[in-house]
Structure 1
Amino acid sequence: MSPRPQRLQITAASPDPALLDLPWHIPLEDWPAENLAALPRGISRHIVRFARLSGGVIAIKEIGESVAYREYELLRQLNRLDVPGVEPVGVITGRSSPEGEPLEAVLITKHLQFSLPYRALFSQALRPDTATRLIDALAVLLVRLHLIGFYWGDVSLSNTLFRRDAETFAAYLVDAETGDLHDTLTDGQRGYDLEVARVNIIGELMDLQAGEFLEDDVDAIAIGQMLVDRYEELWTALTDAESFGLGDRWRVQARIERLNDLGFDVGELDITTDVGGTTVSIQPKVVDAGHHSRRLMRLTGLDVQENQARRLLNDLDSFRAASHRQGEDESFAAHDWLTEVFEPAVRAVPRELRLKLEPAQVFHELLDHRWFLSQQQRRDVPMPEATRSYVENILPGRPDEQAILGVSAADLREDAHPTGSIPAVDDATRSHR
């Protein structure tokens, strides 16, 4: 049956004409395979599918019209505030079936490349430090959201995506359905978000244990509490007032440098003295994440994760020292490092291996490999030689974004778990719950 004409309403900042070619007259759960991207899916309150569009991949979620518009606007606001999250594409309403039955509206977001689903991470042989790094990433995301006044309302691992960031992870919000943006949050709002996060994480990990995707001796309750501890530690470091004697004014710069080390810039600092002028109090008023990534962007134009930027900046500093250029304008040395060190290493990766990892992550692993070879051979291995060894011996064994950490896409699909055990979630915006 040919579809009846529909009066589709597409709301998008930059609508792609190819959107009109997708089968909006068909309920999302019945879309034909030729329209779908072969990405694994997870459990969701809503129907979510992934479609190919103009050479990329989009996530499509069927949801009520008012909720779709609200979440779309929230995601746009968060993107403008530079909060890590999926990028909204648009909302489509006015859908109907060939029989004229109305169909739900859809929210469309871009697929987040190189992202890691938490279920794939936790379904492997979980090392304690992996759990710590993942929880650290979620704690940083939650603090960043709270600093800009965003109340999440449903903090969970399912509503978060993770990308490799050197030896750590960076967390991204993928579901703002229950969120709300305020000028500032009360302690009660922050506390409720934190408690919801703790309870949800414990429940999610226990679900994995019940499905035999996580070892029974992993303490889910301790991991949930770890998030609370990490969050409170970081929030205190970023927001607490600090008092000291007038003779210890060096502590002002020390506080700023400490926040820089945590990856945050201080945009505004409130400094006051007591009536007698003998005690100084300082409190950060405007704190922005991304200290190292902004510095690297300014010097080289590379847009990478925060800890990747930290690692690349360290290599840049080593390059300046080795070439005796510490006294030279940093931007000149940065240009030479980019063209003589970073770009040749990245270009050495064959085209068929470039979906394995982001370029900055490849360079980070390459530096580790070079250090290992140098230790093993007791000599300073040149970068080109280390690059050849890494590309030939290490990178081919890395899983690409459809087979994260050794889990194949086929193993992660819902139909691969007929007994109802918990499937791993895909690495796109599939966790709109």
Structure 2
Amino acid sequence: MALNITASRPDPALLDLPWELPLETWPEEYLAALPRGISRHVVRFVKLSGRVLAVKEIKADIAAREYQMLRVLNKIEVPCVQPFGVVSGRVDVDGNPLDACLITQHLQFSLPYRALFSQSLREGTSTRLIDALAVLLVRLHLSGFWWGDVSLSNTLFRRDAGAFAAYLVDAETGELHQSLTDGQREHDLDIARVNIAGELMDLEAGGFLEAGTDAVDTSNRIVTRYTELWDELTGLERFERGDRWRVDERIRRLNELGFDVGELAISTDFDGTTIQIQPKVVDAGHHSRRLLRLTGLDVEENQARRLLNDLDSYRAGTDRQNDDEEIVAHDWLARIYEPITRTVPRDMAAKLEPAELFHEVLEHRWYMSERAGHDVPIEDAIRDYVATVLPNKPDEARVVGVDTVEMPVVAMFDDR
């Protein structure tokens, strides 16, 4: 059998990897020390040409299908890992066939949920993860994607200004449709609720879940949060003709949730007494797109919201409300954001991505100002943060430490 490599960005270095060995026996020299989530397949992180790739051993037809599905999801800008390639036609040294491998790019600064719970996290982490997963599931369903295996295990999480942003990792069971029926959406929600309950029970049994957290009640939150967000994004709203301001109010609510409205369907009754509206095109990333347009910074949605708030404060503090917004944003970037993020010593640069670091410095500055009883300059805040807070944080660009597959697993739900 001939080795067959399909890759979105072909790299000759792929040929140097030991494809003739089962993935679970690959030598340490090829591997990157990163925490792995629970998976029904063998997964390894490998170092290749200065990047880190995730390699999953899987049947050839499933690998090819998932690779194509991830490519489509990336094209429609759904939060998911980026596919890198598929390697099939593998045989061992004795000529026996081996499963194919799906290769994806490691999502920098992301962690599986079990690695997050291996750290010291503040109260409410489980509910914030559920909220992030609910937003991801709504975005997938709005795009017509039925997941079929919704779980914390099949998701990666990145910190997002005090919250989390969720990314789909495993699209193996997914299907893409023009639109989803209510039954398909409810099926995904049922799967999510059962899987999450099992995952949280495993954490509870291992002593990793926050005290006082009920696994079943927390898993039910995915249904509540999903339904609230879905209704806000797609629900029909009816009001009297004199209340036209409510159209703008609806758009502002959607913007606050981080979604842009590309079109509204507005209709009136026969007698013209009432109006009803319904969003027709809804895209996520309202704040991140605005920040990208103004500054070129490509960050998570909550991070963008926080950075924009600081930009607005800078604009007001310098009395430049009447100046061109893009010029003010350029000055803020050059005078505030970049000097602060570049203050971090090189040996600690991998602990947090720059936007999350800036958010934490703003938080740190607020607490310092509260203690001092007056505003503390952000330059003082970053120096104190680097000296007292940042050294104690793990390196989230490439976390070395707990391999989550070695954490205790009790319930049957983690056998995936």
Task: Give me the TM-score of the superposition, normalised by structure 1.
Answer: 0.92
What amino acid sits opposite 2:403 in the alignment?
A: L
Provide the residue aligned with 2:193 in structure 1: 198
Is the Cα–Cα contact under 8 Å of residues 148 and 188 in structure 2 kept in the other structure?
Answer: yes
User: 3-state SS of the aligned residue for 2:124?
Assistant: helix
Q: CA RMSD in A?
A: 1.9
Given that residues 39 and 402 in structure 1 are in contact (C-alpha distance below 8 angstroms), is that contact kept between their aligned partners in structure 2?
no
What are the equivalent positions in structure 2 for 1:366-377 lying under 5 Å apart?
A: 366-377=361-372
Counterpart CA distance in 2 for 1:67 and 1:372 is: 51
For 1:427, the equivalent position in structure 2 comes to none
8 Å Cα contact 1:46-1:432 kept in structure 2: no
Query: In 2, distance between residues paired with 1:113 and 1:78?
Result: 19
Q: Aligned ranges for residues 20-419 of structure 1 at < 5 Å?
A: 20-123=15-118, 128-214=123-209, 217-401=212-396, 409=401, 411-412=402-403, 414=405
The residue type paired with residue 323 of structure 1 is T
Structure 1: distance between partners of 2:392 and 2:318 = 34
TM-fit CA distance, 1:432: 11
Whole-Å separation in 2 of the counterparts to 1:386 and 1:20: 48
The amino acid across from 1:146 in the alignment is H
Aligned partner letter, 2:64? Y
Between the two proteins, the alignment pairs up a number of residues equal to 413
AA of the residue aligned to 1:251: R
Given residue 383 of structure 2, which amino acid in structure 1 is its aligned partner? R
1:91 offset after TM fit, Å? 0.5
Aligned partners of 2:132 and 2:404: how far apart in 1?
A: 26
Deviates more, 1:71-80 or 1:129-138: 129-138
Gaps of 5+ in 1: 1-5, 424-430
Do the aligned residues in 2 keep the contact of 1:61 with 1:432 (CA within 8 Å)? no
Q: Which of 422, 426, 431 is residue 409 of structure 2 equivalent to?
A: 422
Distance 2:147 2:157 in 1: 17
The residue type equivalent to 1:380 in the other structure is D
Note the C-alpha offset of 1:141: 0.3
Q: Is the 8 A contact 1:273 1:280 kept in 2?
A: yes
Change (3 A) 1:290 1:19: same
1:172 partner SS? strand
When residues 51 and 322 of structure 1 are mapped into structure 2, their CA distance, relative to the original with a 3 A threshold, is: same
Deviates more, 1:114-123 or 1:278-287: 114-123
Conserved 8 A contact 2:39-2:153 = no
Distance in 1 of aligned mates of 2:356 and 2:256: 20
CA 40–129 in structure 1, closer or farther in 2 if over 3 Å, else same: closer
Which runs of no fewer than 5 residues in structure 2 stay unpaired?
none
Whole-angstrom CA distance in 2 between matches of 1:363 and 1:432 = 38
Compute the displacement of 1:210 (Å).
2.5
Amino acid in the other structure paired with 2:149: D
Q: Which amino acid aligns with 1:91?
A: V
- Measured after TM superposition, the shift of residue 332 of structure 1 is 0.6
Q: CA deviation at 1:274?
A: 1.4
AA paired with 2:218? I
- Displacement, 1:211? 2.8
Q: 1:302 to 1:244 in 2, by over 3 A?
A: same
**Matches of 1:337 and 1:216 in 2, distance apart?**
42
- Partners of 2:108 and 2:397 within 8 A in 1: no
Q: Match of 1:271, SS?
A: strand
**Using the alignment, how far apart are the partners of 2:376 and 2:242 within structure 1?**
49
**Which one-letter code corresponds to 1:55 in the other structure?**
G
Percentage of matched positions with identical amino acids: 65
- Whether the 8 Å contact between 1:46 and 1:63 is mirrored in structure 2 is yes
* Equivalent position amino acid for 1:147 in 2: L
Q: Distance in 2 between matches of 1:283 and 1:132?
A: 29
Counterpart of 2:300, as a letter, is: Q
Q: With structure 2 as the length reference, what TM-score do the two structures score?
A: 0.95
1: CA distance between counterparts of 2:204 and 2:7?
41
- Residue 403 of structure 1 deviates from its aligned partner by 8.5
Q: Which has the higher contact order (CA 8 A, sep 6+)?
A: 1
8 Å CA contact retained: 1:125, 1:214: no
Call closer, same or farther: CA 1:413–1:208 in 2, change over 3 Å. Answer: closer
**Residues 213, 380 of structure 1: CA spacing in aligned structure 2 closer, same or farther, 3 A cutoff?**
closer
Q: Write out per-residue CA displacement over residues 240-272 of structure 1, whole angstroms, 9 at most, x where no aligned residue.
A: 011111111111111101100111000111111
**In terms of mean alpha carbon deviation, does 138-147 or 95-104 score higher?**
95-104
How far apart, CA to CA, are the structure 2 residues paired with 1:108 and 1:297? 29
Residue type of the alignment partner of 2:409: I
The alpha-carbon deviation at position 217 of structure 1 amounts to 4.1
Q: Does 1:9 align with 2:18?
A: no
Post-superposition, which runs of at least 4 consecutive aligned residues in structure 1 deviate over 4 A?
Answer: 123-128
- Please tell me whether the aligned partners of residues 311 and 329 of structure 2 are also in contact (alpha carbons under 8 angstroms): yes
Distance 1:349 1:215 in 2: 31
